[in-house]
A and B are shown apart, each in its own frame.
Chain A
Amino acid sequence: MNETIVGDQEDVLGRAFEWKGQGRRVALATVVTTWGSSPRPVGSLLAVDTESQFVGSVSGGCIEGAVIREAMDVIEDGKPRLLDFGVTDTQAWDVGLACGGKIQVYVERLD
């Protein structure tokens, strides 16, 4: 139980490194800013490959789909992107948040 808590981030980065070593094409998404209440703190990570397999999270699940779609473009052209998401009250309600927040996610390719 210890490891799942303290090893959270290491696991995502470790997995990304492992995937890259297997020759898979990988993008890394990092939560860099949050405003208001947001489900995952600044520094939260998600790694994704071109088969849309991913580890980690950048939200409670509401923006992962969009981040993964953007990540495909990032893997393709190698240009990092800074994505802005406003969590609307409706979306927030869907994922069980108390109020709408905003988050910024940076997506880059692992070269």
Chain B
Amino acid sequence: MERDILRQLLADRGAGRTVVLAKNLTSGRNVLLYPIEKAEQSPFSEAAREAALNDKSTSVTGPDGTWFLQVFNPPLRMILVGAVHISQPLARMAAMSGYEVTIIDPRRAFATAARFPGLTVTTDWPDEAMEKLKPNRRTAVVALTHDPKIDDPALLVTLKSEAFYIGALGSLKTHAKRRERMLAAGFDEATFKRIKGPVGLKIGARSPAEIAVAVLAEVIQTLHEVESGPTPPPSPASRRGRVEA
């Protein structure tokens, strides 16, 4: 591989771009593709796009031999609206699972670095913070304050983004009221339905840490469904581990 290609690849990764390194295993040629940003004139642009969306490197055979398509996606991010009690375990668990975590809360008493050691905390207003953070298809957003003044501005911006997961804490009743506000703001039913509420998988969670597990589990499930289709029901075969094609 030429050093210039590696230099470009590292720069693209640093800039948070999705890039696919296509490697011809016969000739040794390396090419960088940007299948999400633009449609490319290459015999395997569709395969590269699919690989990037699935976050799974793969091989394709073209007229000039086998190409290995190595996917480099930007890191997964989780944005938490509300530096509340649940956010503390959720932020840590998400970081352990590979997410870059940002916590937004304009209430300075909540949003302190001491409560979220090592994580990024901002006291910007949620809509401004969201405009800056620009959620993308590798971002999960969870609104956790219960307070429409704080949650709603964040959700309004997030619903216009490609965020793969949007969740909002609150009972069915709270969520019904949220629906009315979102529809009044001009979103249609299908767009509103992108918000998972009540948030989290139903595991009977009670404590903040348990609720964090429920939320993170739902985020993980949603990510992998986006990547590979609905999760199959557990079977003896799947417990033995997936067989790679």
- The reply on A111 being an interface residue by CB < 8 A is yes
Q: Interface 1/0s, chain B 68-105, versus A by CB < 8 A?
A: 10111001100000000000000000011111110000
Q: Does A30 contact B (CB under 8 A)?
A: yes
Closest A residue to B119 using CB positions? A2
Check if B28 sits within 8 Å of A80, measured CB to CB.
yes
Nearest-Cβ distance from residue A91 to partner chain B, whole angstroms: 18
B112 interface residue per 8 A CB criterion: no
Report the interface size class on chain A: 20 to 34
Let me know if B241 and A98 touch, CB within 8 A: yes
Asked if A95 lies at the interface with its beta carbon under 8 angstroms from chain B, I say: no
Asked if B75 and A30 sit within 8 Å, CB to CB, the answer is: no
A13 near B9: Cβ-Cβ < 8 Å: yes
Q: Is the CB of A108 within 8 A of B1?
A: yes
- Tell me whether A1 is interfacial, beta carbon within 8 Å: yes
A111 to B3, Cβ gap below 8 A?
yes
For A32, the chain B residues whose CB sits under 8 A away are 23, 25, 59, 68
- Cβ contact within 8 Å between B98 and A28: no
* Dominant SS among interface residues on chain A: mixed
- Known contacts A6-B75, A106-B68; is-contact A36 B243 (Cβ 8 Å): yes
Tell me the minimal C-beta distance from B144 to chain A in angstroms: 20
- Tell me if A85 is interfacial: C-beta within 8 Å of chain B: no
Q: A32-B59, A111-B1, A111-B2 are in contact. Are A14 and B10 (CB under 8 A)?
A: yes
Contacts of B97 in A (CB 8 A): 5
What mask results when residues 27 to 43 of chain A are scored 1 for a CB within 8 Å of chain B, else 0?
A: 01010111111100011
Q: Decide: B25 and A42 in contact? CB cutoff 8 A.
A: no
Q: Is the CB of A16 closer than 8 A to any CB of chain B?
A: yes
- Chain B stretch 222-244: residues in CB contact (< 8 A) with chain A: 240-241, 243-244
- Is B133 part of the contact surface with A, judged by Cβ < 8 Å? no
A30/B68 in contact, CB under 8 A:
yes
Question: CA–CA, A36 to B58, complex, Å?
Answer: 15
With A6-B75, A9-B72, A37-B241: A108-B6 Cβ-Cβ less than 8 Å: no
With a 10 A CB-CB cut-off, give which of B6, B95, B97, B100 has the most chain A CB atoms.
B6
Q: Write 19 A-B pairs (CB below 8 A) sorted by A numbering.
A: A1-B95, A2-B101, A5-B96, A5-B98, A6-B76, A6-B98, A13-B9, A20-B6, A28-B1, A32-B59, A32-B68, A36-B244, A42-B244, A43-B70, A80-B28, A98-B240, A106-B25, A106-B68, A111-B2
Interface of A toward B, CB cutoff 8 Å: 1-2, 5-6, 9-10, 13-14, 16-17, 20, 28, 30, 32-38, 42-43, 79-80, 82, 98, 106, 108-111
15 additional contacts, CB 8 Å, given A32-B23, A36-B244?
A1-B95, A2-B99, A6-B75, A6-B76, A6-B100, A13-B9, A13-B10, A35-B244, A38-B244, A42-B58, A42-B244, A43-B57, A43-B71, A110-B6, A111-B1
